[in-house]
Copies of this chain bind each other. A is one copy, B any other.
Amino acid sequence: MTSASVGRPRLIALDWGTTHARAYLLGGSADGPVVRDQSSGEGILSVAADDPDRDGAFAAILERMVGGFLDEYPGLPMIACGMIGASQGWRTAQYRTLPTELAGAGGLVVIDTPRGPLPVIAGVKKSAPEPDVIRGEETQLAGLAPGLPEGQASTVLLPGTHSKWALVRDGRLLDFHTAMTGEVFALLSGDSMVARVAEPPAPGHDWRIGFDRGLELATGGVPGDVLFKAFTIRSAVLDEQLPPTQVIDCLSGLLIGSEVATRSVAQTFEGPILVCGGEALVERYRRALDRAGLASRPAPADATVRGLWHSALGAGLIKEEQWLTSLA
């Protein structure tokens, strides 16, 4: 049952990743395009690689995620993005190559499920000068592209486990670079000789103080890359130059600062960098960008939903663009 102010649902969209799955019933108004959504921890890792019936296992998750939506609105088209289309997923959606139309149908693979066809959006790879891959973030980029200025190459930064720096122009992905910043941070702040000198922050703790120390360490005049500088944080505690409560923030600043410094040496930016991610992480990255003299702005929070919608339009699964025209 939908209220009178909400448009009829027109699409079921899935963001199906490594450790999570999220299903959206889409088609509401510009104020609330998501009619309903549901999350679960049933990412692709929840199906064992040696499961004799992987098709059946994935179909069962799909049923739990969208079965209720389809019972209520039979015949709605579906679309999915994320690791579900990786070689470890349900069916491989071969990577597209650069440059690529972000909301185009290139590489789309259609899985024949008990609930009907499920088109899966392909990731993007590049082979030179260095290999790199994207899977999942291309859909966020497809959602953000309509909001970028026309005729110029904009940089979109998607921080996270694997940070992506993407160059987008007129709806096309031109290039991208991935940094393992989030994953390295998790490893070093979890169990390392740096983490061992850390103490949990006290109430009222201001993360900016330690974070800024890390940014200084990343970009200061002292030679050395993160392999050397991460140990400097430990030494700074032993030498009583850094309080143990600031260690984790300082590590975060060092890694994010190093990532930003690397990209700012490698490329020049036209216009502000659009930063898309969780609020706290976006704040940290924007602080680092600001210190590096780079303008930035935060992205809308619903990039994935927008991207799934635009991709469904681009693939001809739905016919008219309704609620997104006013937002783009």
Contact = CB atoms under 8 A, between A and B. Distances in A.
Interface of A: 87, 95, 125, 127, 129-133, 161-162, 177-181, 183-184, 187-188, 192-194, 217, 221-232, 234-236, 238-239, 241, 255, 258-259, 262, 265-266
Within the oligomer, what is the number of copies of this chain? 2
B235 A133 contact: yes
B231 A180 contact: yes
B226 A225 contact: yes
A235 B178 contact: yes
B239 A125 contact: yes
A131 B181 contact: no
Contacts of A181: 227
Contact of A179 (B194, B228, B239): B228
Given A178-B235, A193-B162, A235-B125, A227 B131 contact: no
A127 B232 CA distance: 10
A228 B127 contact: no
A227 B226 contact: yes
Nearest to A236: B131
A62 B76 CA distance: 74
